[in-house]
Amino acid sequence: MNKVIRIGTRESQLAVWQATLVQQLLAKNNIKSELVFIKTEGDIDLQTPLYEIGVQGIFTRSLDTALINSKIDIAVHSMKDVPTQLATGIAQAAVLQRASYKDIFVYKEDLSFISEQLGLVNGEWSMVNNTPPDSYRVTTHYSPLTIATSSVRRMAQWLNRYPTHSIENLRGNVNTRLRKVAESNWNGAIFAAAGLDRINLRPQNAIELDWMLPAPAQGAIMVVCRAEDDFSLEACNQLNDDDTAICTKIERDFLRALLGGCTTPISALAEIKDNKIYFKGNILSPDGKQKLAIEKIIEKDEFNNAGKIWGEEILNMGGDKIVQQIRDAK
């Protein structure tokens, strides 16, 4: 069969890199494909903070529409941008092997200054890694920094650790955001490591935020297609990485159980080691003052409902009150 799969993608350098990766993987299986470029709402409005737009699906809706209307056959997404409930008629076709899940801090001053302000030792977080945030607040007297991010999750975790700092909105694709940081008077900005690494843009003046828990499915790429498109489903399923699919399912189930979206400071990370799943998850208030966290270890074959169960556990611990406060503030 000489069918050519039409791959829908956003036009940013990172999105095109991800779609091209899928194209190359399909080609290895002798499946022909072509890229189709589509603008999304998130690419058009680059000024409004994401938490003000109501961002559930903002980077995926236009591609979903093109998919449902058969203008494309598959769509490639950064998985963390995909709503936990896929649109009717659309199915998950593959989850590619995960890259780095970490966030990184791109700073502007020299490392010694940043280290002093953030409490690092030799560029490492070891000094405060095991120190509870509350005692860290009491015992430190560093100057407030101005940090840029459009992510309410990153903002909440940063303010939980550094409550005297200021947060500025940072929108645009990776290239645009790096340029804005360079041209601003901010002290630095937070990025996803995978995004910068994939297009070889990670600057030398960057520190991995080992203490910051990532967005559910951060670092993973999802491929979706029409549910009835057996050809595309079969073709893409050959690209699926089982361990990444399991871990991201747990993280997204956790997010869904907490009724969260991109405007809710919810983080989750599942990792598979020695046939066991190690999980960390949390929810914070947007100002970082409230935080509930959970850690679990289970056997790999017990993954199916784990994320949902742990999300409900967080809700019962008081997470429901944080969620309600966020809703009332909108």
Domains 1-96+220-240 and 103-208 fall in the same CATH topology:
yes
Range from 138-147, 172-181, 198-207, 210-219 carrying the lowest mean pLDDT = 138-147
> Which residue did the predictor score with more confidence, 121 or 271?
271
Class of domain 1-96+220-240: alpha beta
Percent of the chain with pLDDT over 90: 74
CA neighbor of 153 nearest in space, from 179, 192, 185, 127? 192
Quick one: pLDDT at residue 134? 47
Q: Phi-psi category of 234—alpha, beta or left, where left has phi over 0 and alpha has psi -120 to 50?
A: alpha
CA neighbor of 283 nearest in space, from 298, 266, 269, 268? 266
Q: Is 328 a catalytic residue?
A: no
From the options 3.40.190.10, 2.60.220.30, 1.10.3720.10, 3.40.50.2000, give the CATH code of 103-208.
3.40.190.10
Using pLDDT thresholds of 50, 70 and 90, give the confidence band for residue 165.
very high
Quick one: pLDDT at residue 281? 98
| pLDDT tens, position by position, 13-69 | 999 999 999 999 999 999 999 999 997 654 444 443 334 334 455 668 899 999 999
Establish how many alpha carbons lie within 13 A of residue 104's alpha carbon, considering only the half-sphere containing its beta carbon.
Answer: 22
Q: What DSSP designation does 3 have?
A: -
CA neighbor of 261 nearest in space, from 10, 38, 58, 25? 58
The domain locations on the chain are: 1-96+220-240, 103-208, 241-330
The whole-number average pLDDT for the span 103-116 is: 90
Question: Position of tokens 């937070």?
Answer: 190
Quick one: pLDDT at residue 58? 64
The mean pLDDT of the chain is 88
Instruction: List the CATH code of the domain at 241-330.
Output: 3.30.160.40
Quick one: pLDDT at residue 221? 98
3 state SS of 278:
strand
- Name the active-site residue from 73, 81, 229, 253: 81
